[in-house]
Structure 1
Amino acid sequence: MAQQANFDSAVSTELKRLNIPGLAVAKLESGKVAWTGYYGYQNLEKQVPVTENTVFQIASVAKTVTAAAIMQLVGQGYFSLDDDINGFLPFPVRNAFFPEKPITIRHLLRHRSSIRDNPDYLLPFWEGDYKGPDIALGTFLQNYLAAGGPTYRKDKNFIHTAPGDSFEYSNMGYALLGYIVERTAKMPFDEYCQKKLFTPLEMHNTNWFPDRIDPDKLATAYTFSDSLKVYQQRHQSTFPDYPSGQLRTSIGDLAKFLACWTNNGKFNGKSIIDSLAVQTLTPRNLSLGFHTWFLYLLNTETPMYSHNGHSPGVSTYMLYDPFSKNGLIILMNGEVTSYADWRKLIGLLYRGR
């Protein structure tokens, strides 16, 4: 008990230092949830504490879910990773600087599609400043990626490198993966995830859209003003490229997803995610990576697969070791931007209580 009290005190101290209102954490050991922890507040104004029911936006950690969805369809033989994406779209997508070079699903998964996020256009969506009408995922992508589209900008939406040749982190690339799922499965991307991932994994507090979640469960996102020394509340953000980072979920739900992933796609004895997906995206031979997941060195001896997420008032991390099947998930409704701060927090939480 004393050890846990010391651990809880250390976590609370770290949150105060980092100006983080609330945190939920899950530790996996041998592919099973070993423990979960809840700290601080999901809503400061109402003094609502973080609990097992708190639903956080997970930002770019959601890309692991989008990748799992596309890989389910790969496993079912709808397409292969090296297929030209134009075979599955109602509009053509090519980098105009290299029109002869196709963009493949593998390129999208590896952030090597040459599709660039144009901040001039996208930041108003991501930061919640866009006030216009809702834009359907397919329309948004066609407008942005197809030559002649109203938001198509050759120099800003693509890089001057051929697909496959260089890394360029691309939220729009992951939105495109979600749309390929939508077109192939003949249902909206969020509906596909609900039927094929969230329901089978018993993720009952998970949805791509915040207005479909009990508002009393939603964590409020906060940024901290260093000059004013106050927390500033952010609204529940939504954006047209939602498969890249709009997902909301609880720590328990996301732990089920990670546990399934660490167990080669099985959950409660049933295969939910094809083992091909797991072994393609996060192979036990770490030198073969990466697809979606990045490598994280917890120490000099333990490389792990990981993905982090960040948006205004949101910071998240998920990582695991494919050999020990140990993992860690951190969800917060505040901002950690320093890599050194992240390493300190991950080290503290991974050691556990």
Structure 2
Amino acid sequence: MRFAVSLALCVFLAGCVASPSRDVALDVLMKRYDGDGPGASLLVIRDGVPVVRRGYGFADLEGHVPASPQTNYRLASVSKQFTAAAILLLAQDGKLSLDDRARRWLPTLPAAADAITIRQLLSHQGGLIDYEDIMPADTRVPLRDRDVLGLLARTDHLYFTPGTSYRYSNGGYAMLALIVEKASGKPFQDFLRERIFLPLGMTNTLAYVREGPAVAHRAFGYSKEGGHWVRTDQSMTSSVLGDGGIYSSIDDLARWDAALYDDRLLSDASRRAAFTPWTPTDDPMVRYGYGWRITGETLWHSGETIGFRNVIVRYPRSHLTVILLTNRNDPEPYKTAVHIANLYL
């Protein structure tokens, strides 16, 4: 009896007894990340308990540093859920309204953007021109969020009338980061640290700026060129924070995932707003909330940038989450994460 109780407790607390067939299937799915190349960190959380928590391959090829659960990856567009949460926190504080016109906070946006609301920026319904398409070809200094505003200020049209369509907008989320700064009176990276990361115990997560703290346990990004891995860690858009500038680890993201089940950070109303499928997207299977894609019962977001491919997939009704962070340009990990989730559903 004592053995049976101890075994049950072990399974509950740590997922230490696993199905051999499930382990084999997991190894097959993750095989491409293992070995001597750039790797990945994988977390599977079921009922609040990590049942898989592993690193594969290397976070730093030149330094021969293995990937681990503490490795911090550039999240790319997985960052958008934190930008959205910052806006929702300020709305809870009464510092802004989601129905505010963006130009109330950023008056140098062009007149064509006059009707765009914060709510529309959150759900990619603003119609702003893609800043990546209008940045000068000879750009040599990495853009910051304020530089994106400068580019957009010189445009005189939108893709569509705000609120009438959907177009994924990195620039819209850069504008949201600037609105956070205006409404809070703090640099965006400081607001995230003080209001989200530190309260949740995400002590190694940060929106990275060159003049700020270094990234601890940092993964560097790589791309395969001519059969060899080449470090491709930063581009001219890597310093834009609102759309993709956060570094985090699977250990810290486990704390973020837990906070999305209750009101320790966001109110019930704010979480419902974030997870509401406000608009269809360019994929008929996907709708968009505030910083989250929604497919069936899943809440998810991917993040792709030079040298990094990441995804978080949550199944709230099943209390299951898969987080897969990688420091390589290929493969895109969403399908892998869904296959992994199916092993545990």
* TM-score bracket relative to the smaller structure: 0.7 to 0.9
CA contact (8 A) 1:14 1:345 kept: no
RMSD: 3.1
Partner of 1:149: none
Amino acid at match of 1:230: H
CA contact (8 A) 2:322 2:337 kept: no
Q: Give the unaligned 5+ runs of structure 2.
A: 1-17, 281-286
Partner of 1:258: 257
Amino acid at match of 2:245: Q
CA contact (8 A) 2:81 2:290 kept: no
Change (3 A) 1:40 1:177: same
Change (3 A) 1:66 1:32: farther
Amino acid at match of 1:72: L
Matched, 1:197 2:196: yes
Structure with larger RCO (C-alpha < 8 A, sep 6+): 1
CA contact (8 A) 1:58 1:248 kept: yes
Using the alignment, how far apart are the partners of 2:47 and 2:136 within structure 1?
A: 40
Partner of 2:155: 153
Partner of 2:339: 347
Number of positions where the alignment pairs a residue of Structure 1 with one of Structure 2: 319
Partner of 1:232: 230
Runs of 4+ displaced beyond 6 Å = 284-288
Change (3 A) 1:286 1:20: farther
Q: Which moved more, 1:281-290 or 1:314-323?
A: 281-290
Partner of 2:207: 208
Task: Indicate the SS of the match to 1:242.
Answer: coil
1:47-78 CA-to-partner distances (Å, cap 9, x unmatched) read 21111221100100000000000000111222
TM-score normalised per structure 1: 0.80
Using the alignment, how far apart are the partners of 1:176 and 1:204 within structure 2?
A: 26
Task: Indicate the SS of the match to 2:57.
Answer: strand
Change (3 A) 1:286 1:256: farther
CA contact (8 A) 1:306 1:319 kept: yes
Matched, 1:47 2:64: yes
Matched, 1:75 2:92: yes
Matched, 1:103 2:121: no
Aligned with residue 9 of structure 1, among 14, 27, 32: 27
Using the alignment, how far apart are the partners of 2:136 and 2:23 within structure 1?
A: 42
CA contact (8 A) 1:7 1:352 kept: no
1:271-291 CA-to-partner distances (Å, cap 9, x unmatched) read 222322211011499999623
CA contact (8 A) 1:81 1:105 kept: yes
Please list, as runs of the form range in 1=range in 2, the aligned pairs for 1:259-338 lying within 5 A after superposition: 259-261=258-260, 263-265=261-263, 271-283=264-276, 290-296=289-295, 303-336=297-330
TM-score normalised per structure 2: 0.81
Task: Indicate the SS of the match to 2:206.
Answer: coil
Task: Indicate the SS of the match to 2:317.
Answer: coil
CA contact (8 A) 1:171 1:241 kept: no
Q: Could you tell me how far 1:136 is from its partner in structure 2?
A: 5.4
Change (3 A) 1:313 1:76: same
Task: Indicate the SS of the match to 2:242.
Answer: helix
Using the alignment, how far apart are the partners of 2:72 and 2:276 within structure 1?
A: 30
Please list, as runs of the form range in 1=range in 2, the aligned pairs for 1:111-126 lying within 5 A after superposition: 111-122=124-135
